Amino acid sequence: MRHYSGIDKIIQSFDQGLRSLVPGATSAHRKNPAEDHVSALSIREARHVAGLMRVNHSGEVCAQALYHGQALTAKLPNVKKEMEQAAIEEQDHLAWCEDRLNELESLPSFLNPIWYGLSFTMGAFAGIAGDKYSLGFVAETERQVSLHLEDHIQQLPPQDIRSRKILEQMNEDELHHRDTALEAGGVVLPPPICVIMTTVSKLMTKTSYYI
């Protein structure tokens, strides 16, 4: 197995960040759930759906950063591998959201570099705190993401099957990531940490919808 130096890891992290932030740089490994469906939206509906999908795209940018940061500082090899695998699966979500934004003739959030930097830092510190806390951080993050996805699914126009299929598959994957993290030894985080995470999440969702 190849041994990576500190410089190698920094370069790898920089490359991962670029792939997460540059439009079109990430490709899905799985078929887009919306591929076989058609949705006709009014201009007003399309604008609202674009805002929702922009928020979800930013959430996936944060997820990429979180897993990359945790993989960088994870102590146990199996936890590091778990984080890297989860990041690969999240790439599908990132690509699907970007595809839907393109269809709606809209753009990802201009604030994504900020969200990536904050999430990467939080993930790295979670990894330094210890693998059980790192996994607990993943579980809580995925729980909150699932709540956002369920709310967005309810807000979609009834005829927007394309967006609905994407969000439903994303939610299924996020819940799986949450359960996997808990089964791997993740602990329930202290309430103050969960409150901070919720506050940051709300800030991201409210700003990314518009910007």
Q: Which residues are annotated as a binding site for Fe cation?
A: 60, 90, 93, 142, 174, 177
Among 128, 175, 186, CA closest to 149 = 175
Q: Exposed, middle or buried: residue 35 (CB in 10 Å: 0-12, 13-18, 19+)?
A: exposed
Distance from C-alpha of 25 to C-alpha of 144, rounded to nearest angstrom = 27
Distance from C-alpha of 94 to C-alpha of 67, rounded to nearest angstrom = 14
Query: DSSP label at 210?
Result: T
Binding-site residues, please?
A: 60, 90, 93, 142, 174, 177
End-to-end CA distance of the chain: 43
Q: In terms of C-beta distances under 8 Å and separation of at least 24 residues, what long-range contacts does 32-38 make, across chains too?
A: 32/95, 32/96, 32/99, 32/166, 33/96, 33/165, 33/166, 33/168, 33/169, 34/96, 34/99, 34/100, 34/161, 34/162, 34/163, 34/165, 34/166, 37/161, 37/162, 37/165, 38/161, 38/162
